[in-house]
Structure 1
Amino acid sequence: MKKVKLLFGVHMHQPVDNFGDAVDKAIELCYAPFFATMRNYPDFKFAVHSSGWLLNEIKTKHPKIFQDMEYLTKKGSIEWVGAGYYEPVLSAISSKDRRAQMNKLSSYLKKNLKSAPRGAWLTERVWESSIVPDLAACGLEYVVVDDYHFLSSGFDNSAMDGYYESEEGGEKIALFPISAALRYALPFFSVERSIEAILNCAKSDNSAAIIFDDMEKFGLWPKTHEWVYEKKWLERFVEAVLADERITTMHYKEYLHTNRSKGLAYLNNTSYFEMGEWSLKSHQNLALESLKKSVGDEYFKKEGVALIKGGIWKNFFIKYRESNHIHKRMMHHSLHQERLKKDALESLYKLQTNDVLWHGVFGGLYLPNLRDNAYSYLLEIEASLAKEKPAFSFFDIDKDGYEELKVLTKNLSLVFSSKYGAQLIEFGSLEKLFNWQNTLMRRHEAYHEKILHPTPKIYKENSGEDEIATIHNDEVAINENFKDELIYDWHPKYSFIDHICSDEFSFDSFKRASFNEVGDFANQPFEFDEEKMTFRREGGVYLDKKYDTSLTKKYGFGKSSISLDLSTVSDFTHKLHYGMEFNFHFAHPHKVLINSQALGNGVVLTDIESIVLKDDYTQKSLKISLNKKCTVYAYILNTLSQNESGFELTAQQISLLFSIPFLSSLDLTISLEVCDV
């Protein structure tokens, strides 16, 4: 009789400082019932990884769950698995920070659960061999990755029933391949089919059936709480495993030390297949999906998996410049962390939390609260460095070949981009730890095609009690009204954006980004004169031909204000329309008042020289004043993104346009001031 060693592991994580109700929901539906159930079966050995922040939240606010964890640990049921304390993607932070984060979690586990981890969970299973020396230096002997990591690197699917050895610079690490078949089976299949899936992993006696997956699948994902707990799937599954003499549960570290490896392995820089898809630009994502379908499922699984693949995780920094800005601001402080005090260093580690930096079937970057949290940690660092007098520096923050002007006043952290129109790309309050420039542009995403070009639904026969759908194959309801929300921006949505239009702007043309732009200033580089502190572009107005046009922007700074002297001169002598665009992020955009009016579906103000945006969240107002009367258009900008529950319309920011007609030349003085409400 062929026997199999079941290496069962679960990973639990919530974004650092996530909404309290979101954490409470996960506690109630998933974490609490999971450990309460497993407490009844201490003979079932399994592995657990939890991000340090979540584990401490449970210990502090939900001691009963932590007591269950302690009990199962003392009984020898749980093997605790390490990683970065605040759940960073290890390959996306420095070696020094990797070691600090992993040691921090290991120390927490040793102190609070008397358990020293020997293995590591890789956040989002992002593998790069450069992390191996740091894993080894932290005393970690193995990591878990997907079997896809191996298959996409040319390994055979029949040899995924054990672990492999790898090395980098002579430092070695063991690699356990997680079974995709088990990830899609547990807990979605019936207990009987789940047992069958485990046994099918055994290629020889004492083979390993390897599963390490999100605990949130056991109660938090749609439909799973009823399935796993109310219908007692987990209870029946554990009992069935313990009763089956063909299956022995075992800890990863135990299997590692009692079984030889299956050989040497070098893996691609990769994550799971879906992550590779998501990291691509939308047209590439669709092309990859089409290619995979064209070769057929059988060929893909047998041969194509090693040849057909998406991008790497770090592509998200290319796909989303907003993500890249957060990451590179973090990396700059990481490289100069010797100047940071203890609290600021802790803020740096929190800033390395992965969730805000990417987007797939989960909200990630599209969730404003996650970006708000990230910027609050960044601004905590900046506040620790601020002085009475403004500090100026001009260097390439984003690592894209173009310098940014960074200004740190007593109350504000500001960044201006030379690549994108001398625009304000960071507008952070050191007092409120809030970035009003935490904006997001509207992009085409591959999943928008489900709305733009819906295909007829194919209804599958109900499988009854045998299985439930996962979020990867569950039907998603399509709201036809979403089509009207699919508007795509042709330039980043920052502030102090210069538009020159041949026709008069309208509310609709501004909202839909469809006005007839004839200038080349809104998304093009400016030169910066450090001595004069002036941005300038020698550009053009394009109508029947190019008309040489220059635009100069000179910023000034107070403790809580920005001033701008702007001058533009064009060889085109007929009437044009200049528009200055601002985009400001607010925690509650629908509650913001503009000149005491609610924005509702948008507002148009005429003959205006100043506006005041009153923010209930920060209890601050943003006041914009001009030296000329203008027309102001304002609306709440929404993005349409996908999450585990379907499609979600999210208010990201308030977009404003100040429109002024001019002939040949225009001089403006503009101020942006932060005031108390």
Structure 2
Amino acid sequence: MKRMTLSLVIHNHQPVGNFDFVFAQAAERAYDPMLAALERHPAVRPALHYTGPLLDWLSVHRPDHLERLRTLVERGQVELLTSAYYEPVLVALPDADKVGQIRKMSRFLRESFGCEPTGAWLAERVWEPHLPKPLAEAGVRYTLLDDTHFKMVGLTDDDLFGSYVTEEQGYTLQVFGSSMLLRYAIPWRPVEEVMGWLREQAEAHPGGVAVMGDDGEKFGLWPGTWEHCWGEEGWMDRFFSALEESGEWLATRPLGEVAAEMEPLGRIYLPCGSYEEMMRWALPPDDFAALGRVRRELEAQGRQDVLRFVRGGLWRSFMARYDEVNQMHKRALWVSRKVHRMPEGREKAQALDHLWAAQCNCGYWHGLFGGIYLFHIRVANYGHLIAAEEMADRAASPVPWARVERGDLDADGHEEVVLNTDQQVLVFKPSYGGALVEWDWRDRRYNLLNTMTRRREGYHEELVAAAREGRLVLPGQTEVPDGVRVKEPGIHTRLFHDWYRRAALLDHFLHPETTLEAFYQARYGEQGDFVEQPYVARVEGGEGAVVLELAREGGVWVGDRQVAVRVEKGIALEAGSSDLWVRYRLTNLGDGPASLRFGVEVNWGVVGGDSKYGELRVAEGESRRLSDLGEQSAVSTLVVASRLPDLAGEVALSLSRPAHLWHFPLEAVANSEAGYERVYQGTCTLLWWEVALELGRPWGVEFRFALNAAHAIDR
């Protein structure tokens, strides 16, 4: 019988900005044991993929691991795949960045391991039909995708024991289908069962190739997997031994060898897609739940003939679901254009590297865990974006500078206004409440407004149902049938959902009976139409300063009558200054006096704000955590500070009129491997006043924000 080939592709990744201890633990529990197993089983010949952030960390902290890997490559046992260096979702990048990142990775592999990669790993296996062209231009000859992509165009499992050729504008690419069955079986099903399935396929598809590509972290890093894979159970060694003992009918070979020798089975054009779970996660919450029910029903009925055509949404839908994802993505496009206009040289190369690091995919989507809700990952992405833009701006402008940039930055059909100085970058959305949606502090390489709006997620339905049916399981409690683990009692009562985007300089008119608790829960009566409605923008630029004037004439309900009110806010920045001035002016346009409760909301994105490193100071000597819920009257000064060593700094606010302060944490209820938990995403501050607004007598207040770096605030 002609031997069948098994091609294993193992993908090892840690994102830009992840904690050192996670890198170290992953190396110790997953990456090291895999190399050791391959050293013990020389006939097992897989392809491995390491992402750039992981390679960078290993180069500094674990060069011995890379040396062992180099030995396996040199003896022909391991093939290394290329990719975009910092593991971005490739479809989200301009073509120049796609090609540039892949060439960077291929160059690293060539110089460090002496190999010429021909295959590429695609982050999250996200595919769109235009990809063959940039991949081919970067020197890639083949890639692998989930079998889901192929089944959506009518192929079955029996059609996937070989590659297909696809193209874009005549640029060709071989594509292999990775078996979902093998992805779920290795290393979870008994070794004998996996080998039995492979034997059946070898008899049915002699000379074919079965492909399995998946995350290396599941081989030891995921909870419970180290003991299963490498401990007493020793699943991986038993599996590798079984592969070696089956050499008469099965060969394990790197996928690149197969691609070079095996003729494609035919031509194919694949639709936009990713792995099955990702496409479900991309759906809105109700559809996420509905698709899960539909799939379970079809599986129970054995309708595999229908299931292969049932799919979820597109990866790009995350940019529609999360304003924060879209903001970061479109800022990356904005910065990319600036960086690519820089003159060639060392500074441009450094700026490109920061830009590419900012494109690392983990902060641009969300599944069941982590993703955009991982605060430290968002911080890292923004840090690199801010660094790249500063390099590009300094190359184009003498220091200091203050200028205005205008354009549809976030691609929503409306113009944004960017106030850009050598110290700060502020992004305003006149179309959405005249809100400040990004505030970059260049000295700290930090976006001060890096928060998350509280949203419904598809998996919240599971939590609510389990609470209703008494199936919640706390730490230390005995498991119950269909139990749902939670890390604290009553967490289902913390599902607060915001009706507007959490940003800064949001203008509220509150009902006089609104309480802090009601505002915290987003269950209150908004009396005005200013929070998310358009403002008119006017920009003034002078020598060394920029001023943005925003104004809206709207209505505010006072009892049973609506009063016409004009809100004006002026924002001023100076070149070389770390201060920001904001001036508010309210004018009564109605036919009589009005008593109003007016508030200005700012949402602060200070990572670690729920720890001892985050501080909210409302009076000298009176310090609170940023995760506290509270209020204070007669506030004239307010300090928001971080004591984290790498980000230490503070924003000091002074007011021309004392205000009442409400403050509370913004927390997402997210799933994790240990159960549902609250995850800190920022702090909301609302400064409000009781305003007696007379006809012909405007009311005003002025804010002065001062950014102070660590050296100025050591205490």
Q: TM-score range by the shorter chain?
A: over 0.9
Are 1:6 and 2:6 an aligned pair?
yes
Cα drift, residue 499 of structure 1: 0.6
Partners of 1:56 and 1:405 in 2: CA distance: 37
1:507 to 508, 516, 528: 516
The answer for the alignment partner of 1:648 in structure 2 is 677
1:434 to 446, 454, 460: 446
Cα drift, residue 593 of structure 1: 3.3
The one-character-per-residue Cα deviations of 1:563-611 (angstroms, maximum 9, x if unpaired) are 1121223427432211111111112213313233223632211111221
1:373 to 370, 377, 380: 380
The answer for the alignment partner of 1:529 in structure 2 is 538
The one-character-per-residue Cα deviations of 1:483-506 (angstroms, maximum 9, x if unpaired) are 122111111111111110122442
Are 1:574 and 2:594 an aligned pair?
yes
Residues 400 and 64 (structure 1), Cα distance of their counterparts in 2 relative to 1, 3 Å cut: same
Counterpart residue type for residue 554 of structure 1: G
Partners of 1:377 and 1:189 in 2: CA distance: 42
Partners of 1:458 and 1:492 in 2: CA distance: 33
Are 1:418 and 2:430 an aligned pair?
yes
SS at match of 2:316: helix
Contact 1:30 1:215 in 2 (8 A): yes
The answer for the alignment partner of 1:672 in structure 2 is 705
Cα drift, residue 422 of structure 1: 1.3
Contact 1:95 1:131 in 2 (8 A): no
Are 1:598 and 2:624 an aligned pair?
yes
Contact 2:136 2:171 in 1 (8 A): yes
The answer for the alignment partner of 2:207 in structure 1 is 206
Cα drift, residue 432 of structure 1: 1.2
Partners of 1:374 and 1:672 in 2: CA distance: 25
2:290 to 270, 287, 291: 287
Contact 1:292 1:300 in 2 (8 A): no
2:568 to 525, 545, 552: 552
The answer for the alignment partner of 1:622 in structure 2 is 651
Partners of 1:408 and 1:530 in 2: CA distance: 13
2:357 to 328, 350, 356: 350
Counterpart residue type for residue 208 of structure 1: V
State which drifts further: 450-459 or 615-624.
450-459
Counterpart residue type for residue 567 of structure 1: R
1:256-405, aligned counterparts within 5 Å? 256-298=259-301, 300-306=303-309, 308-340=310-342, 341-384=348-391, 385-386=393-394, 387-405=399-417
Counterpart residue type for residue 648 of structure 2: Q
Partners of 1:483 and 1:403 in 2: CA distance: 39
Contact 2:471 2:484 in 1 (8 A): no
Contact 2:573 2:581 in 1 (8 A): yes
The answer for the alignment partner of 2:528 in structure 1 is 519
Cα drift, residue 645 of structure 1: 4.2
Residues 415 and 451 (structure 1), Cα distance of their counterparts in 2 relative to 1, 3 Å cut: same
SS at match of 2:572: strand
Aligned-residue sequence identity (percent) comes to 29
The one-character-per-residue Cα deviations of 1:202-259 (angstroms, maximum 9, x if unpaired) are 4321121110110011001111101000121111110110101221112212212322
Partners of 2:71 and 2:516 in 1: CA distance: 62
The answer for the alignment partner of 2:556 in structure 1 is 541
State which drifts further: 195-204 or 102-111.
195-204
Cα drift, residue 420 of structure 1: 2.0
Contact 1:502 1:575 in 2 (8 A): no
Residues 201 and 568 (structure 1), Cα distance of their counterparts in 2 relative to 1, 3 Å cut: farther
SS at match of 2:440: strand
Residues 619 and 352 (structure 1), Cα distance of their counterparts in 2 relative to 1, 3 Å cut: closer
Counterpart residue type for residue 561 of structure 1: D
Residues 417 and 304 (structure 1), Cα distance of their counterparts in 2 relative to 1, 3 Å cut: same
The answer for the alignment partner of 1:587 in structure 2 is 607
Contact 2:7 2:212 in 1 (8 A): yes
Cα drift, residue 545 of structure 1: 5.3
The answer for the alignment partner of 1:482 in structure 2 is 491
Residues 296 and 674 (structure 1), Cα distance of their counterparts in 2 relative to 1, 3 Å cut: same
State which drifts further: 135-144 or 596-605.
596-605
Counterpart residue type for residue 641 of structure 1: A
Q: TM-score, normalised by structure 1?
A: 0.94
Number of paired residues? 663
SS at match of 1:303: helix
SS at match of 1:607: strand
Contact 1:185 1:197 in 2 (8 A): no
The one-character-per-residue Cα deviations of 1:135-155 (angstroms, maximum 9, x if unpaired) are 111221111000001112222
1:121-132, aligned counterparts within 5 Å? 121-132=121-132
Cα drift, residue 25 of structure 1: 1.0
Cα drift, residue 336 of structure 1: 2.9
Partners of 1:672 and 1:639 in 2: CA distance: 28
The answer for the alignment partner of 1:462 in structure 2 is none
Cα drift, residue 672 of structure 1: 1.8
Coordinate RMSD, CA, aligned: 2.1
Counterpart residue type for residue 439 of structure 1: T
Contact 2:299 2:307 in 1 (8 A): no
Partners of 1:294 and 1:518 in 2: CA distance: 46
Partners of 2:178 and 2:89 in 1: CA distance: 18
Partners of 1:297 and 1:253 in 2: CA distance: 38
Counterpart residue type for residue 623 of structure 2: Q
The one-character-per-residue Cα deviations of 1:421-476 (angstroms, maximum 9, x if unpaired) are 112111121111111111111000011112212286999xxxxxxxxxxxxx9975
Contact 1:36 1:65 in 2 (8 A): no
Partners of 1:663 and 1:299 in 2: CA distance: 69
1:154-169, aligned counterparts within 5 Å? 154-169=154-169
